[in-house]
Structure 1
Amino acid sequence: MAEAPLSRRRLLAVGATATLGALAGCTDEEVARLNPFWDAPITMKVIAASGDETETTCTLDADEVDDIPELKRPLQRLSGAEDGRRIVKRLTTGTGQEISNMLTRKCGDSIGGLYQYEGEWFLMGLTFEAQEDHQQHHEEQGGHGGTETATPTETAN
């Protein structure tokens, strides 16, 4: 009788070890996506654009974008797309703040507008569902708070 609980424990241990091994090297966001109840607190919208949709413009360097795969992938997927094609991506708080910080450093306090990347134009915006947390984060990072840092980009499509 003692053998049955032991084999069940071994089976659970092997399953847990296999799961941990499979998840090794995954980012927090990738692991969180395995949870069917995961609800990312930030939405990023990237839209292929013509370059004249708004006066708020900024040029993004490839080196800066390369450091953030969650931003790079949508920009690459929309490369060469017709105007108005869009990608909406849910982000973790950490990734959203990383993108927001990079855009703030590069382009000033206004997050959301028209961005040029590798010769093409994209409308981009971040929507922070927990606006108070985001505003507090920017205030702690040097006073880049305010509601304009989370203004989503709207288009007529």
Structure 2
Amino acid sequence: MMPVKDGFALCDTLKNDERTSHIPIILLTAKADFESRISGLRRGADAYLTKPFEQEELLVRLEQLLALRRKLQERYRTPSFAEQPAASEEVRVEDVFVQKLRELVLQNLEEEDFGIVQLCRALAVSRTQLHNKVKALTGRSTTEFVRMV
């Protein structure tokens, strides 16, 4: 048990916050019933493992999540990612963030004073949060992403 929030509440918090929605979440829990498993996955968990768990299963899940993350980075690396259809019909928070970032850059191309600080302010994130999220989603630094746009 976690002291303040349970894993479901933490998953809700992380997946619904634009700053942290890109972070993969594996719920490792003693709640093995079907309803708990479905609830965890519906809240955005990328994987749901019950205790006791097999180390090999955890490693395979991690490998799959890393492979998925690499595919996502490849998708966002291409300059034409905005025209590419999403893998599923539902809009992902990551897509919304990257599209918003791209639109802000395009809207302010002519502004000499518009830089990373202004971009952070417009997105309501710190410089570190922006760098970490852009790097995690695209595999590029914020500066490289801006140049790509």
Larger Rg: 1
TM-score, normalisation: structure 1: 0.25
Question: Which of the pair has the greater relative contact order for Cα pairs under 8 Å at 6+ separation?
Answer: 1
TM-score normalized with structure 2 length:
0.26
Report which of the two has the higher share of strand. 1
